[in-house]
Amino acid sequence: MIVRFAGFGGQGIVVSSYIIGKSAVLDGKKAIQNQAYGSESRGGECRGDVVIANEEIYELEPTNYDVLVAMTQPAYEAFVPLLKPGGTLILDSDLVVTDKKLEPKKIKKHAIPATDIAFKKFGRKIVANMIILGYMNTLLSPVSESALEKAISESVPKGTEKMNLEAMREGIRLAREGKG
């Protein structure tokens, strides 16, 4: 499974791709993770790619994706045409307006107001990516839930583990309830 997370610096885009890759390795699968960002560490366009497979991964720079997580309008517009037909698009519904003309055929679309929920429920917009991670993993199961939990706990700043895990569980709940 090839997943691209895209948005702007500060939304936890790169760390999301890292967490999925690390979870896959904890599950005993193969994974590679890459990122690209501008010279600004916050506010610039950025993306994180992760490839998960049971076999050796030879294509390190995939050009098409099974899943796109778009957290900004420019990210959506730039990368949704690269989604494979039948692929899955997950976006933050408050930050992205979709345009059918840009989209490949038969993609599955899921829109949740992750940033808004993060702010209202946890008082921190920054955990929107954790809501998305929980949501995406429940929808598509690229990694086990236990590995995801462990990877999140080991990857977020000390003292914030509980909030991040709760945000992830919120994402799981939204997916189970069929939201988006």
Partner 1 sequence: MKKHRTSPTTDSRYKPARPFNADEFGRVRRILGGKVLFVQGDAAVAYGALLAGCRFFAGYPITPATETSEILSQLMPRVGGVCIQMEDEIASVGAIIGASRAGVKSMTATSGPGFSLMQENIGYAAMTETPCVIVDVQRSGPSTGQPTEGAQGDIMQAKWGSHGDYELIALSPSTVQECLDLTIEAFNLSETYGIPVILLTDGIIGHMREKVVLPEFEEIELTWRREPTKPKEEFQPFLVDSTKIPEMAIFGTGYHTYITGLTHSETGYPATDSQVDHHRLVQRLCDKIRDNRDRIVQVERDYSDGDKDTIGIVSYGVTSRSVNSAVKMLRQDGLKIDHLRLVTNWPFPEKEVAELSERANRIVVPELNLGQVYHGVREAVAGRSEVIPLWKTGGEMHVPHDIVELVKGGVK
Residues that bind partner 1 (CB under 8 A): 18, 21-22, 25-26, 30-36, 56-61, 63
**Number of residues assigned to the chain:** 180
Q: Which residues contact 158 (CB under 8 A, 6 or more apart)?
A: none
Q: Which residues contact 149 (CB under 8 A, 6 or more apart)?
A: 165, 168
Instruction: Centre a 10 Å sphere on the Cβ of residue 131 and count the other Cβ atoms it contains.
Output: 30
Q: How much is the CA Rg of the chain, to the nearest whole Å? A: 15
Closer of 99 and 154 to partner 1 (Cβ): 154
Closer of 7 and 48 to partner 1 (Cβ): 48
Q: In the complex, what is the shortest distance from the CB of residue 119 to partner 1, in angstroms, rounded to a whole number? A: 30
DSSP state of 127: G
Closer of 60 and 101 to partner 1 (Cβ): 60
Structure tokens that stand for 33 in this block: 């993770």
Q: In the complex, what is the shortest distance from the CB of residue 63 to partner 1, in angstroms, rounded to a whole number? A: 8
Closer of 84 and 173 to partner 1 (Cβ): 84
Q: In the complex, what is the shortest distance from the CB of residue 55 to partner 1, in angstroms, rounded to a whole number? A: 10
Q: In the complex, what is the shortest distance from the CB of residue 154 to partner 1, in angstroms, rounded to a whole number? A: 9
| Cα gap 4→116, rounded to integer Å | 22
